A and B are shown apart, each in its own frame.
Chain A
Amino acid sequence: MDDQISLRVTRYRPDKDAEPSWQDYDVPLREEWTILDALNHVKNELDTTLAFRWSCRMGICGSCGMNVEGEPRLTCATFLADYAPGPVRVEPLGNFPVARDLVVDIEDFMEKLPRVKPWIIRDEEQPVDDGEYLQTPEELDAYKQFSMCINCMLCYAACPVYGLDPDFVGPAAIALAERYDLDSRDQGARERLDVLIEHEGVYGCTFVGECTRVCPKHVDPAGAIQRYKLKAAQQSVKAFLLPRALR
Chain B
Amino acid sequence: MSDLLYRRPISVWWWTRKRSYFLFVMRELSSLFIAWFVLYLLLLIRAVAHGEAAYDDFLDTAASPWLVAVNLVAFGFVVLHTVTWFSLTPQAMVVSLRGRRVPAAVIIGAQYAGLAVVSALVYWLVTR
- Chain A interface residues (CB < 8 Å from chain B): 12, 14-15, 19-20, 70, 94, 97-99, 105, 160, 163-164, 206-210, 212-213, 220, 222-223, 226-227, 229-230
Contact = CB atoms under 8 A, between A and B. Distances in A.
B93 interface: yes
B57 interface: no
B93 A227 contact: yes
B93 A209 contact: no
Contact of A223 (B5, B8, B91): B91
A226 B91 CA distance: 8
Interface stretch (B13-21, B36-44, B108-116, B117-125): B13-21
A163 B93 contact: no
Given A163-B10, A163-B14, A230 B24 contact: no
A244 to B, nearest CB: 29
Contacts of A160: 14-15, 21, 24
Contacts, number: 58
B68 interface: no
B17 to A, nearest CB: 7
A94 B6 CA distance: 12
A230 B5 contact: no
Given A14-B4, A97-B5, A226-B93, A210 B10 contact: no
Contacts of A227: 92-94
A208 B91 contact: no
B13 to A, nearest CB: 12
B50 interface: no
Interface string B89-103: 001111000000000
